[in-house]
Amino acid sequence: MSYLQQLQCSLSGELFPADRIQQLSPAGRPLLCRYDLARIRAEVDRDVFARRNGGFWNYEELLPCQDYARVPRLGEIRTPLIRVAHPHMRLTIKDEGRLPTGSFKARGLALAVARARELGIDKLAMPSNGNAGAALAAYASRCGMRSLVVCPADNTPQMNIDEIRMQGAELELLDGMIDDCGKRVRELIAGSDWFDVSTLKEPYRLEGKKTMGLELAEQYGWKLPDVIVYPTGGGTGLIGMWKAFQELKALGWLEQEQLPRMVAVQASGCAPIVRAFDEGAEEAKRWEHADTLAAGIRVPAAVGDRLMLQTLRESNGTARAVSDDDIVAAWKQLARDEGLLLCPEGAATLAAAQQLADCGWIQPGEDVVLFNCATGLKYPLPD
């Protein structure tokens, strides 16, 4: 049983059936899941989630699957909120590195794999900077499905390469960026029955990432922090959390009117969303010669650019680029001072939060949540 009603084009608003295989809308834009929120409001009590123990699967009434007895499970948990001392703000890190496959990509890919299986698909392909490929490989193998991943050869972390292979995916390494890998995937699967699960090119990964927002709201007692700082590549997490907050608001489940200000953090060597935000643009131009050690956010062009920019503006948020040196400094600082080993993308959020506090954008005493999206143990560590 699912409360999912239809899929809606994020640009035109046109509606499409959810009971068949869909990719992008005819307008070439992401399709968004729309639920019968009035029925959920009448039939579901938000306290039910606290009594469940299945991590992101807890939120099944707000997810698109039909049969939760058959979804792939690998020991999903609610990821912890870890308070970190800071002289200026109330700083909390949501540590997504504790999820199966060691990253938040488990959320999106578990949903995409589960839904693909319900729709009769058994071969899934996509480009990845590493963590998403690992999560796809794991959840597809868990379901007895095949998976194919194309990663950039130059800066995909070795651990990602090893885990993708070991968890049963076919892997190709390509000389290029993630969007070049996306083109290669399309070439490889053209005319076959392989399905493309690239970021936002099917509707369900976003629903998995949405659970970060649902879980955060539940952990905060159905209130929310003032600011959320998110390392932004394809942007599914940013868009997904904002979608979660809109749905929770429509359901009347939030204890406060005010939603968090959403902050997109990118690396100075690849910051197409920051540039577009600063220019007041509605779409982001491709970032040429992208370069950063934070592989997960080396995304020169994203199909969700409009949705990300809308999210930042609607939430009165902002976008910030940080240098690799700042990332490394924040990475070392938190490990040394707090014993918490972030991933480089998580360290980027700390560097950005620090800068936003220094310039007064984050006010004294504000409640700020940073997303550490993967375990630091996957990465070669700086000296």
Ligand X SMILES: Cc1ncc(COP(=O)(O)O)c(C=O)c1O
Residues near ligand X (CB under 6 A) are: 103, 129, 131-132, 199, 231-237, 296-297, 343, 345, 373-374
- Secondary structure of residue 170 in the 3-state scheme: strand
Smallest gap, in angstroms, from Cβ of residue 20 to ligand X? 26
Smallest gap, in angstroms, from Cβ of residue 103 to ligand X? 6
- Note whether 16 and 9 are within 8 A (CB): yes
Tell me phi and psi for residue 18, to 5 degrees: -100, -5
Smallest gap, in angstroms, from Cβ of residue 43 to ligand X? 31
Smallest gap, in angstroms, from Cβ of residue 248 to ligand X? 20
Smallest gap, in angstroms, from Cβ of residue 188 to ligand X? 20
Cα distance between residue 54 and residue 200, in whole Å: 25
**Helices in the chain by DSSP H: which ranges?**
37-43, 105-118, 131-142, 158-166, 178-189, 205-219, 236-251, 272-279, 305-314, 324-338, 344-358
The tokens for 176 are 């290029």
Smallest gap, in angstroms, from Cβ of residue 233 to ligand X? 3
- Note whether 304 and 243 are within 8 A (CB): no
Give whole-number Cα distances, 22 to 18, 32, 64, 106, 189, in Å.
Answer: 8, 11, 13, 21, 16
Nearer to ligand X, 64 or 376 (CB): 376
Nearer to ligand X, 79 or 199 (CB): 199
Residue nearest ligand X by beta-carbon distance: 296
Largest CA distance in the chain: 57
Cα distance between residue 103 and residue 296, in whole Å: 11
Nearer to ligand X, 195 or 230 (CB): 230
Smallest gap, in angstroms, from Cβ of residue 263 to ligand X? 12
Smallest gap, in angstroms, from Cβ of residue 184 to ligand X? 17
Tell me phi and psi for residue 367, to 5 degrees: -95, 115
Sign of CA dihedral 192, 194, 200, 202: positive
Report which of 78, 74, 81 is spatially closest to residue 55, judged by C-alpha positions: 78
Helix, strand, coil percent content, the chain, rounded in steps of 5: 40, 20, 40
Nearer to ligand X, 92 or 236 (CB): 236
Nearer to ligand X, 92 or 156 (CB): 156
Nearer to ligand X, 95 or 345 (CB): 345
- Note whether 302 and 338 are within 8 A (CB): no
Nearer to ligand X, 55 or 233 (CB): 233
- Note whether 139 and 170 are within 8 A (CB): no
Nearer to ligand X, 199 or 315 (CB): 199
